[in-house]
Structure 1
Amino acid sequence: MFVSYKWLAEYVDLSGVTPDELAEKITRSGIEVEGVDVLNEGMKGVVIGHVVEKEPHPDADKLNKCQVDLGNDEIVQIICGAKNVDKGQKVAVATVGAVLPGNFKIKKAKLRGEVSHGMICSLQELGFEAKLVAKEYSEGIFVFPSDAEVGADALQQLNLDDAVLELGLTPNRADALSMLGVAHEVAAILNRDVKYPEISYVSTAEKASDAVKIKVEASEDNPLYVAKVIKNVTIAPSPLWMQSRLMAAGIRPHNNVVDITNYVLIEYGQPLHSFDYDRFGSREILVRRANDGEKIKTLDDQERTLTTDHLVITNGTEPVALAGVMGGANSEVQSDTKTVLLESALFNGQRIRTASKDHGLRSEASARYEKGVDPKRVHAAAERAAQLISLYAGGEVLEGSVEVQSATFEPAVVKTTVNKINRVLGMDISAEEIKAIFERLGFGVETDNSVITVTVPTRRGDITIEEDLVEEVARLYGYDNIPTTLPVGQAIPGKLTDYQEKRRKVRRYLEGSGLYQAITYSLTSEGKAAKYALEASELTKLALPMSEERSVLRLSLLPHLLDALKYNLARQMDQVALYEIGSVFLSEGKDQQPLEKERLSAAVTGLWHSHSWQAEKKPVDFYVVKGIVDGLVDLLGLTNQIQYKQANRAGMHPGRTAELFLGDKLIGFIGQVHPTAQKELDLTETYVFELSLVDLLTATVEETRFEIIPRFPSISRDIALVVDKNVVVGDIEQIITEAGGKLLKDVSVFDLYEGDRLEEGKKSVAFSLRYFDPERTLTDEEVTKTHEKVLNAVEEKLGATLRG
């Protein structure tokens, strides 16, 4: 809804409140103002000029040389290319030094040898949208009425000295789809009164009931229909102030009668339609459902086929309007129209929505019917339109109206209590203040002790229950005035559990490591479900699957992550690193709900480091992914509890796969996808891991202990051990650590050799051992004694020898 600030000021006193301040107050009261558009922002120097003379440009076929009076006896020459410029016109002139939208500055110029002191402007050049400009001025300059004052500010005459507030309305606030509705809202916010337009006109002795009869067959779809008849109208352009207000509201001007119906639509929120009485085809209005296959040609010259779901206005035989959506071309008000049949009606919103959707016709009228209009304004809007047609089209309004009403419309009565309002809001608002808020809103209020009975006007159809009243009090009292209190209770609401907090840390760590989060389907196919599963389980099948591809619950996250890698690689994304935290579903037996366990999986392929100017590119390998897992384990404080063991798993590379153990419990695996599986999926070398997240996050973490910074030096010894090729390095390291005792603080591998200088079936593994005592300086004898224990242990248990 676009709301003109100047127009709104006619209904409620806005003195002392700027458009921006008003926008802030409306937003704080519950209706979001999405923007404030100052129409003349940055513009200046545009006046009304009078074209005194016009002659063709001597050296250009499409240009005219105009002599323009700018007032105060100042006549300047302006070269204009508009087709419709002519002598005697009052036009908008951007003088030399003027600034137009887009910071376009007007300077003195020469066009084909002729001097031009300014520019005669079209409405588009003054900032109006092309779709809002009346057809006669859509391809040329704008012409002011002949009584326009020469030299006056053209921007002011076009109502561009205005600001337009754009309201972002929720569907329940249909009342704010009108200027009067917004006026009531603003009046409540500012605690001021609403001033309605005064309606008065002189009607003729002839009665409207003698000119037209109404029959409504579809009374549920049309509980109220009002018609008025206005004779001897003169079709002409509507007043400039009305045109500019309609354009500010986003509506294109047409002629005085059509513009008046649109003006009242915006003013009252009540859609109206004007028929040419002489083209209507009869003196009877029949409102009914359309016949299946019946056709109507609407105002946009499109022939539309109707169904029995559509409501139509007919002349007794053929449709003349698609009710609430668009009129028919056969009864359109045209330049020769003399008598207007004016419709103001209440239609069922769902019926209008159906027709609008079926025919792809979305109009200002249909939008309001769909959300609900105020039944009490149906008559008032018709009278207001009759007044304006009488005033600006010279019409003679026949006495009275013709109407059919099949339902009554009573205001809603809703009760609440002071205690209820304060309990819900957590506030302490007095009964007097609550009553004052409802009175500011224009509601009827009665109090009986703490019980408040509110009579809600029909314009506020969104208020039907007690909670609606609580909301009205809250937003008018001010959400900013709700007191701040600390929560009281056993637990602080909203605090993350320890598990949730750790899981959030895991996500942040993985994303910081360069992995992107993926979310894949929990449903998969039977062929994929058991692949890469950490635990064996029967499959949990859906009773009525949508497809075979989504027929069972997954046992592993990896199959779909690999599908995601395949999808990206097929689209030239050759560096992909994804992770997912999600549930797998382990069967608990037939007719039992499966057990959900949270898993963490990742799949990485391509380059880990791109080829930059100062370093070589580095493809992903086992140790890159292991490094990610090591960092995660360290983050969770489980470094000393996790062990890697070489493993063979289905679908994984036999020499590049390890299982992870937390103590003695298997909690995951890591490694390269088997080359055969990579080939089947068209993947490059891909590394994955899947971990039991619930085991990692619920594991007991050892207490953090701090040590004094060492004061004494350590002693390092390097050894190269020759062992059988099938001996696992981890086993060697474990034996060394156990034999080294308290003095051995660190063991690390720094070399592996397999070559022709060793016996067949042997390998050499080099370790660096660091000995240290925090209480004293170690002697060579002590280190040698411990070191020999290490050498004896590896020799006895593994048959290892020192490499010479």
Structure 2
Amino acid sequence: MKVSLKWMMEYVDYRGSVEELAKRLTMSGSSAESIEYPGRDIKNVVVGEIIKIEKHPDSDKLLVTIVNVGDRALQIITGAHNIKEGDRVAVALPGAIIEGGIEIKVQNIKGLESQGMLCSAKELGLDDHGLPEDMKSGLLILPEDAPVGNDIKDYIGLEDAVIDFELTPNRPDCLSIVGMAREAAATFNIPLTPVSINLKEESGERIPDKVNVTVEARDLCKRYIARIIKDVKIKPSPLWMQRRLQVCGIRPINNIVDITNYVMLELGQPLHAFDYDKLTGGSIIVRRGNNGEKITTLDGQVREISEDTLVIADKKGPVALAGIMGGAETEVSAETRTVLLESANFWGPNIRRTSRRLGIRTEASLRFEKGIDPNLASMAAERACELIERLGAGRVLKGCVDVYPEPVLPGKLPLRVDRLNALLGTEISKEQMVDILRRLEIEAIEESDQTFVIIPTFRADITQEADLAEEIARIYGYDNLPSTLPGSIATCGKLNRNQKLVDEIKQTLTGCGFSEIYTYSFISPSAFDALGAPEDHEIRRIVKIINPLGEEQSVMRTTLLPGILEVIRFNLNQKRESIRIFELGTIYIPRQIPLKELPVEKRRLGLAVCDENLDFYYLKGAIETLLLKLKIRGAVFYPGEHFSLHPGRTAKISVDGEIAGFIGEVHPDVMENYGIEDKRAYVAELDLDLLLDKASTEVKFQPLPRFPAADRDVAIVVEEDVTAGSIMETIKEAGGELLENVELFDVYRGNQIPEGYKSLAFSLTYRAKDRTLTDEEINRLHSNITEHILKKFNGRLRE
């Protein structure tokens, strides 16, 4: 919100520096982001009157003018031709500084002396958007009553200080000059000048005979006021008004439109002006849109209306998007003679949704979506009509149409001084509190030996005692609040079980050489094609985003693989040769399509390795290390399939019979789809929720073994499709309590092994807790285990 200091000072008599104002208002809750000083560098430019014009004797394009600047007459040569004798103009005297820091000097132009310069709007730093065409290409012509000799900065209000405030969404009342003046008055404890309106309603006609207002969508429109202005004269608004609009970031259009924008900036209530003669049947209908309806808005764009869109319509169809932008069909133009002025209050959430859906963000929608006081609509309509009368832009009809079925009344809260002091840790007296709240236009009353405060309707953000405490604290001064310890017993914050386990997972994988990554939860629908997912696969049951940033981020992910593969590709493109990454993320599974409730959120752990020196078994080892760290027993790796992974190089992982995830080499076709060539990548995706459920934080201690262990090896030849894991499980079952450990230490394929077979060598460790095992016991047990696995897997001992 850009605030003109000169404009604001019409409502509050502030006499300090603009820097101090910005600082103090920031400390009281209205953050000042920047300060600009438009017009400050312009010097020695005055109002002049052209008393004589002649052609330059040596140039057909130049004019020689004699200009009265109050205390003298100057000869000034100009190339502009939009002037005549008697015109009042802006004159840059010798030594003057104009926009851009240009200094004006006496010059000799084709043999004649020019003692200054006649200025255009741009040379004064003015936006010429709202000026007549001849002034855009020529000189700025001032009104006939412009006082000759006066400084142009005083006459137009050219010099100003503009503070840009970053306001919080809960303070829509501050999105106005009056709102910020109210804040300044409260902060500095100086009087606030109320808005004074003197509306004459000069036309003898009455509005009820001219317009019929029907509010059908009463849940979306709390109030609608319509006023009519006749005998409208469309012309540029006064320069002082144009200047105020410009410094606050709004371009002038014409007097009627400028007045609506002026009142919006001044009071915070958006207004809209319709060409009354273009409204079919003189009717206004506030309703929801119908699917298929369209409207061409003031920016020339055709907008499609949905049933959730609040529109202003006549008997023929929509004429405006309520609270956002008017329609081109009823736009105020140079031919407009009668205006219907709208001052309404629309429900903020609906305006915000429509604005986002259509991609339109206007000054009006910005205010409506944050919530505006419905009681402000009447004052704004009267203020706009007063300005129309004052500027001679039209005659206001008597009365108005005001549809306001459920008036909003002021709120009421108890003022408990002890409670507020306890919240703030202060000892502020009741008198001080009442004074601070009075400065914010919150009045205190006494009822039945209890004090209450009346909350004005423009402060809808104050709903409870804590809000009162905040108001008192910010005006009292946060820097004046004492430092106090918490008054109640504090509890010590700590991580819960799953949070500790997640930290343990991150530390373990980091210790294994992996780096954590974060990827977007939004992905492209084409990612499933790149992964090679079958058309009917459940992974394609996705949640679509209504308002996506783009096609590439239009659905919620159902797997972590797309993000992981994108990260691999990016790092390879950056010439990273060794990539080891992991991600703890959430996938989103819809309960049903179309959605009727929020999707199920499941946590997943994704891992990936892309390094010519690392393979499948490195990634498998990292997962086994993690499972060991989490004290998860009963994890089994067994052959499996996955549409994104290489056949025969993929394994499923189960824990206690439940599927925990998959691991494998990425299929070459998938690598090609992601633009990764001549590289191998190994990925795994695990069910993080299952791992956390199966993990144990219990630590058990047992004494060191008292008796020695005995090692035996066995090498068996089995068919190629027999897995080492299944053999190890069988060995453990047959070994019983005396088998302490079993490890695979060799896999051999070669000349001594028939084709289609492999040799697997295992090391077995035997130990008893209560005695030293004899060779006879060990040999008998080892022999039994060997016979068992040979028989079960149809193998033979390797010689």
- TM-score of the two chains, using structure 1 as the length reference: 0.62
Distance 2:400 2:211 in 1: 10
Distance 1:381 1:263 in 2: 10
Alignment map for 1:213-228 (pairs within 5 Å): 213-220=211-218, 221-228=220-227
Q: Does 1:120 align with 2:87?
A: no
Cross-structure match for 2:649: none
Cross-structure match for 2:417: 418
- SS of alignment partner, residue 146 of structure 1: coil
- SS of alignment partner, residue 308 of structure 1: coil
- SS of alignment partner, residue 93 of structure 1: strand
Query: CA shift at 1:44, angstroms?
Result: 1.9
Q: Does 1:429 align with 2:428?
A: yes
Distance 1:649 1:297 in 2: 61
Alignment map for 1:197-216 (pairs within 5 Å): 197-204=195-202, 206-216=204-214
Letter in 2 for 1:455: I
Letter in 2 for 1:9: M
Q: Is the 8 A contact 2:207 2:401 kept in 1?
A: yes
Letter in 2 for 1:400: G
Q: Is the 8 A contact 2:39 2:159 kept in 1?
A: yes
Query: CA shift at 1:176, angstroms?
Result: 0.8
Cross-structure match for 1:41: 40
Query: CA shift at 1:297, angstroms?
Result: 4.1
Deviates more, 1:105-114 or 1:424-433: 105-114
Q: 1:217 to 1:7 in 2, by over 3 A?
A: closer
Q: Is the 8 A contact 1:68 1:78 kept in 2?
A: no
Distance 1:550 1:294 in 2: 35
Distance 2:290 2:585 in 1: 55
Query: CA shift at 1:416, angstroms?
Result: 5.3
Q: Is the 8 A contact 1:212 1:402 kept in 2?
A: no
Query: CA shift at 1:359, angstroms?
Result: 4.1
Q: 1:367 to 1:50 in 2, by over 3 A?
A: same
Q: Does 1:267 align with 2:266?
A: yes
Letter in 2 for 1:104: I
Letter in 2 for 1:94: A
Cross-structure match for 2:453: 454
Query: CA shift at 1:445, angstroms?
Result: 1.8
Distance 1:325 1:678 in 2: 51
- How large is the RMSD of aligned CA atoms in angstroms? 5.7
Q: Does 1:650 align with 2:617?
A: yes
Distance 2:273 2:284 in 1: 13
Q: 1:217 to 1:381 in 2, by over 3 A?
A: closer
Q: Does 1:568 align with 2:571?
A: yes
Distance 2:338 2:170 in 1: 38
Q: Does 1:6 align with 2:6?
A: yes
Alignment map for 1:462-611 (pairs within 5 Å): 462-485=461-484, 518-519=517-518, 564=567, 566-569=569-572, 571=573, 573=575
Query: CA shift at 1:443, angstroms?
Result: 1.0
Distance 2:492 2:57 in 1: 82
Distance 1:307 1:240 in 2: 41
Letter in 1 for 2:39: N
- SS of alignment partner, residue 246 of structure 1: helix
Distance 2:228 2:556 in 1: 66
- SS of alignment partner, residue 403 of structure 1: strand
Distance 2:353 2:375 in 1: 24
Distance 1:242 1:468 in 2: 37
Cross-structure match for 2:190: 192
Q: 1:493 to 1:20 in 2, by over 3 A?
A: farther
- SS of alignment partner, residue 221 of structure 2: coil
Q: Is the 8 A contact 1:79 1:119 kept in 2?
A: yes
Q: 1:444 to 1:567 in 2, by over 3 A?
A: same
Distance 1:305 1:678 in 2: 45
Query: CA shift at 1:83, angstroms?
Result: 6.3
Cross-structure match for 2:385: 386
Distance 2:215 2:347 in 1: 14
Q: 1:475 to 1:486 in 2, by over 3 A?
A: same
Letter in 1 for 2:408: F
Letter in 2 for 1:168: E
Q: 1:460 to 1:543 in 2, by over 3 A?
A: same
Distance 2:311 2:521 in 1: 50
Q: 1:521 to 1:358 in 2, by over 3 A?
A: closer
Q: 1:427 to 1:70 in 2, by over 3 A?
A: same
Cross-structure match for 2:101: 103
Query: CA shift at 1:147, angstroms?
Result: 1.8
Q: Identity rate of aligned residues, in percent?
A: 40
Cross-structure match for 1:786: none
Q: Is the 8 A contact 2:229 2:396 kept in 1?
A: yes
Query: CA shift at 1:218, angstroms?
Result: 1.3
Q: Is the 8 A contact 2:127 2:251 kept in 1?
A: no
- SS of alignment partner, residue 459 of structure 1: coil
Distance 2:230 2:566 in 1: 74
- Structure 1 residues 166-195: Cα deviation after superposition (integer angstroms, max 9, x where no partner): 111222111011222222222211223322
Q: Is the 8 A contact 1:678 1:685 kept in 2?
A: no
Distance 1:229 1:439 in 2: 37
Q: Is the 8 A contact 1:344 1:379 kept in 2?
A: yes
- Structure 1 residues 108-138: Cα deviation after superposition (integer angstroms, max 9, x where no partner): 5566776654443333333345667776644
Distance 1:493 1:248 in 2: 52
Q: Is the 8 A contact 2:226 2:401 kept in 1?
A: yes
Cross-structure match for 2:74: 75
Letter in 1 for 2:425: G
Distance 2:580 2:44 in 1: 60
Query: CA shift at 1:56, angstroms?
Result: 6.2
Distance 1:583 1:567 in 2: 19
Distance 1:370 1:394 in 2: 31
Q: Is the 8 A contact 1:418 1:450 kept in 2?
A: no
Distance 1:562 1:358 in 2: 32
Cross-structure match for 1:628: none
Query: CA shift at 1:79, angstroms?
Result: 3.7
Letter in 1 for 2:31: E
Q: 1:151 to 1:517 in 2, by over 3 A?
A: farther
- Structure 1 residues 423-454: Cα deviation after superposition (integer angstroms, max 9, x where no partner): 33333323322222211111122357996532
Q: Is the 8 A contact 1:487 1:493 kept in 2?
A: no
Which consecutive unaligned segments of at least 5 residues does structure 2 have?
A: 524-537, 544-554, 587-602, 626-630, 632-664, 683-799
- SS of alignment partner, residue 42 of structure 1: coil
- Structure 1 residues 627-659: Cα deviation after superposition (integer angstroms, max 9, x where no partner): xxxxxxxxxxxxxxxxxxxxx99359x9xxxx9
- SS of alignment partner, residue 190 of structure 2: coil
Distance 2:677 2:482 in 1: 59
Q: Is the 8 A contact 1:346 1:373 kept in 2?
A: yes
Distance 2:217 2:119 in 1: 51
Letter in 2 for 1:342: L
Cross-structure match for 2:25: 26
- Structure 1 residues 532-569: Cα deviation after superposition (integer angstroms, max 9, x where no partner): xxxxxxxxxx9999699977789xxxx99997465234
Q: Quick one: which of 168, 177, 180 aligns to 2:178?
A: 180
Letter in 2 for 1:29: S
Q: 1:562 to 1:285 in 2, by over 3 A?
A: closer
Cross-structure match for 1:761: none
Distance 1:553 1:380 in 2: 56
Distance 1:259 1:166 in 2: 21
Letter in 1 for 2:346: F
Query: CA shift at 1:35, angstroms?
Result: 1.3
Q: 1:57 to 1:303 in 2, by over 3 A?
A: farther
Q: 1:231 to 1:79 in 2, by over 3 A?
A: closer
Query: CA shift at 1:240, angstroms?
Result: 2.5
Q: 1:342 to 1:99 in 2, by over 3 A?
A: same
Query: CA shift at 1:29, angstroms?
Result: 0.7
Q: 1:598 to 1:385 in 2, by over 3 A?
A: closer
Cross-structure match for 1:142: 140
Query: CA shift at 1:495, angstroms?
Result: 11
Alignment map for 1:156-175 (pairs within 5 Å): 156-175=154-173
